[in-house]
């Protein structure tokens, strides 16, 4: 069955990243993946988080906060409801883990970097877009720390990006848009480092269990998709 966008099964949506979109943040990136648009900013605090200070820990920290604006979806969601949204908290933790997987906290020094990912428009894959764009904002913030002489050695060890994949109408497809996501028999998200290793895999059989062969094929598709995203990150950060 042809996909709504007429894409091939392993074809991603058009992707763009624009940096310097927030004049106040140490790093910022507006990422667009098809109809999904996420504003990612990286803010630097010149101190460790409180829990590290209380435990006399060394090194810095990278964390994240994710949210969707009231009209990011077809129906307006109140700001009160957004504050109580457990999904936002779960995705925030995922983004934070993805960023920390490629950062040396000791080299970062006693700094805290918060990646804020605000979904302007949602059309599937918002957490993946947040990770991919959030990484660009993180790199820009670290560069400012290095330019200011607060960090002597680059703490970022590798690139990281994310893409969704799943089983839709009996076919394995990459980078699901909203219409596909809603009807997917299996939904998964893959976070992949620049060296091709996987940072995290989230996979759920929405309608029935999935098998080993399916997840292996999706992993291969996701690795290829993330490689393309990372190539774009490199160009944007040149």
The 10s digit of each residue's pLDDT in 204-227 is: 987 889 999 999 999 999 999 999
Instruction: With respect to residue 102, please indicate whether it lies within any of the assigned structural domains.
Output: yes
pLDDT score of 33: 98
Instruction: With respect to residue 122, please indicate whether it lies within any of the assigned structural domains.
Output: yes
- CATH number, domain of 33, equals 3.30.230.70
Q: Are 45 and 114 in contact (CB under 8 A)?
A: yes
Instruction: With respect to residue 7, please indicate whether it lies within any of the assigned structural domains.
Output: no
pLDDT score of 82: 66
Q: Where are the alpha helices (DSSP H) in 55-125?
A: 79-83, 86-100, 105-108
pLDDT score of 70: 83
Task: Return phi, psi of residue 86, to 5°.
Answer: -70, -25
Look at residue 79 and tell me whether its pLDDT is greater than 90.
no
For the beta sheet containing 160-168, the strands, ordered from the edge strand earlier in sequence to the opposite edge, are: 171-174, 160-168, 186-193, 198-205
- Count of domains for the chain: 1
Instruction: With respect to residue 155, please indicate whether it lies within any of the assigned structural domains.
Output: yes
CA gap 166, 180 in Å, rounded? 9
Instruction: With respect to residue 1, please indicate whether it lies within any of the assigned structural domains.
Output: no
Domain holding 80, by residue range, is: 15-236
CA gap 143, 159 in Å, rounded? 14
Q: Which of 7, 33, 3 has its CA nearest to residue 18?
A: 33
pLDDT score of 27: 98
Handedness of CA 100, 101, 103, 106 (dihedral sign): positive
Instruction: With respect to residue 69, please indicate whether it lies within any of the assigned structural domains.
Output: yes
Per-residue model confidence as pLDDT tens digits over 33-50: 999 999 999 999 999 999
Instruction: With respect to residue 221, please indicate whether it lies within any of the assigned structural domains.
Output: yes
Instruction: With respect to residue 8, please indicate whether it lies within any of the assigned structural domains.
Output: no
Q: SS3 for 225?
A: helix
Most confident of 68-82, 84-98, 155-169: 155-169
CA gap 140, 154 in Å, rounded? 11
CA dihedral 117, 44, 226, 175 (to 10 degrees): 0
């Amino acid at each position: 069955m042809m996909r709504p966008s007429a894409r091939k099964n392993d074809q991603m949506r058009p992707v763009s990243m624009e940096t310097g979109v927030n004049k106040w943040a140490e790093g910022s990136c507006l990422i667009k993946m098809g109809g999904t648009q996420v504003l990612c900013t990286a803010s630097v605090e010149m101190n460790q988080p409180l829990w590290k200070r209380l435990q006399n820990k060394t090194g810095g920290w990278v964390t994240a906060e994710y949210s969707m604006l009231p009209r990011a979806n077809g129906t307006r969601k109140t700001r009160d409801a957004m504050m109580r949204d457990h999904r936002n908290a779960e995705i925030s933790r995922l983004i934070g883990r993805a960023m920390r997987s490629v950062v040396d906290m000791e080299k970062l020094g006693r700094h805290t970097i918060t990646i804020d990912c605000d979904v302007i428009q949602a059309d599937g894959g918002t957490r993946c877009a947040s990770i991919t764009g959030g990484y660009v904002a993180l790199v820009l913030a670290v560069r400012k720390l290095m330019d200011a002489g607060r960090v002597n050695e680059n703490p970022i060890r590798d690139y990281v990006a994310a893409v969704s994949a799943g089983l839709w109408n009996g076919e394995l497809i990459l980078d699901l848009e909203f219409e596909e996501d809603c009807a997917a028999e299996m939904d998964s998200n893959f976070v992949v480092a620049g060296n091709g290793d996987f940072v995290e895999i989230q996979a759920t059989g929405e309608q029935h269990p999935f098998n080993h062969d399916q997840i292996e094929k999706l992993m291969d598709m996701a690795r290829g998709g993330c490689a393309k995203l990372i190539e774009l990150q490199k160009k944007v950060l040149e």
